[in-house]
A = this chain, B = another copy of it.
Amino acid sequence: MRLDLALSELAFLGNRLSTARAVCDQHSQSESHIRSRSPDAVAYPETTAEVAQIARICTRHGIPMTGWGAGTSLEGHALAAHGGLTLDFSRMNAVLAVYPEDMLAVVQPGITREALNADLRATGLFFPVDPGANASLGGMAMTRASGTTALRYGTMRHNVLGLEVVLANGQIIRTGSCAPKSSAGYDLTALLVGSEGTLGLVTELTLRLHGQPEAVSAAICAFPDIAGAVDCVTATIQMGLPLARIEFLDTEAVAACAAWSGQTLPPTPHLLVEFHGSPHGVAEQAERFGDIARTHGCRGFQWAKAQEDRARLWKMRHQAYPAILASRPGSTAIVTDVCVPISALAEAVEETRADIAGSPIPGPILGHVGDGNFHAILLVRPDDPAEAAAAKHLADRMADRALRLGGTITGEHGIGMGKLGHMPAEHGPAWAVMGAIKQALDPQGLLNPGKLVPQ
């Protein structure tokens, strides 16, 4: 790493290159519990050509390159584990084009999902992937994000149709097209989505948009136990009811959300559901779901047809994270996720619940259970190594349990630095295949080193 030489060549960026301690330190902390050294410098590119020039300079001098979107990832993806240059994409945040007829938008990587949807409002279209945090689209693509609406609209895997990417050597490639599908060669778009910035730097995304649903209905219902709620989810999926969202909150999460929002909710597991469609369609689906829920012991089934009632419901869900943090004042959270086959969901959630109950720390469970995906928000006292170790142990056991049940160590948070140690157990020799692809595209290992692939 010849940093001085690189910095002198990067001077073309003017005041969009910084080595100030405050700026570098700001890019060494994300919303996760994972800590890393600071980058040596931060660049704020404004064009693809600039990103390509930065990559050529960094490659020439052996400088690691780490992309930064909104800093909301949960496994340390955007941290400069090996130092070097962080490319902060906040100035590349434009909507470049919207094609309403094709239901596509072309955007730069730094735009956040809320800014994109604000921009789209007048078109009647929206971008549905919603991981909770107001993440950048580039970051969401790189972590293969999903969230509450993936059940109906898919994850980033389904909603990124094409990419423009700068490779380690500065070469610019484009993947995909504006056609809805293709069988023209390797699906490089799908390879890059979820690659966590280890194969290239995304400079442009072509995204699928969806029509705003004509009618929406939502409901909340309480179940006597985890099994009842989860079995209700399984039955609903198997009936083929086209759910837009189905979220699970365990008793601990419900208590925290109720306290935070000032609502009264029975202290038992709950499901929040939403249907999108035509007025007749959502009414029919709602009625069918009500029947299924009642046969699984649902009590206190409440429909939220009015927009303000729905907004209140989903605000409560979206504020679950601060609500849960507030449930143990002074704590910080280690948030972890796994994903299992639907048939194993009740077992996975119940075992996890029992495991946390037997540990010294609290950890409410919630998740996008229609996908078999759930989270534990493990609350630890900062600077208490014993609690951090307990949380790590619980998270490790969740990952092991997910694998034992035929699932995956992460449904939507990604690997980053936090879950590297679990990769051999999930992938066996396929992990080395990922390493071979990385080696082929980034032989010097400069793109986001320390993440995802064998080190």
Interface 1/0 per residue, A175-213 and B, CB below 8 Å: 101111111111110110111000100000000001101
Known: A174-B428, A191-B191. A179 touches B101 (CB 8 A): no
A311 interface residue (CB < 8 Å to B) = no
Bound Cα distance from A144 to B412, whole angstroms: 24
Stretch with Cβ within 8 A of B (4 or more), from A40-48, A84-92, A108-116, A338-346: A338-346
The answer to whether B187 touches A211, judged by C-beta atoms less than 8 angstroms apart, is no
A128 interface residue (CB < 8 Å to B) = no
Which residues of the partner chain B approach A383 to less than 8 Å between Cβ atoms? none
Known: A144-B187, A157-B190, A184-B426. A179 touches B406 (CB 8 A): yes
Closest CB of chain B to A176's CB: distance in Å? 8
The answer to whether B433 touches A146, judged by C-beta atoms less than 8 angstroms apart, is no
Stretch with Cβ within 8 A of B (4 or more), from A9-17, A59-67, A220-228, A234-242: A234-242
The answer to whether A175 touches B415, judged by C-beta atoms less than 8 angstroms apart, is no
Which chain B residue shows the least CB distance to A371? B180
Interface 1/0 per residue, A429-455 and B, CB below 8 Å: 111011011011100000000001100
Tell me the number of copies of this protein: 2
The answer to whether A184 touches B343, judged by C-beta atoms less than 8 angstroms apart, is no
The answer to whether A423 touches B339, judged by C-beta atoms less than 8 angstroms apart, is no
Stretch with Cβ within 8 A of B (4 or more), from A31-39, A262-270, A276-284, A325-333: A276-284
Known: A174-B428, A433-B173. A181 touches B99 (CB 8 A): no
The answer to whether A185 touches B238, judged by C-beta atoms less than 8 angstroms apart, is no
Interface set of A (CB-CB < 8 Å, partner B): 99-104, 143-146, 150, 155, 157-158, 167, 171-175, 177-188, 190-191, 193-195, 199, 210-211, 213-214, 234, 237-240, 242, 278, 280-281, 284, 339-343, 371-373, 402-403, 406-415, 419, 422-423, 426-431, 433-434, 436-437, 439-441, 452-453
Minimum-distance CB pairs A-B, first 8: A190-B190, A440-B440, A182-B408, A101-B343, A178-B406, A179-B407, A173-B430, A179-B339
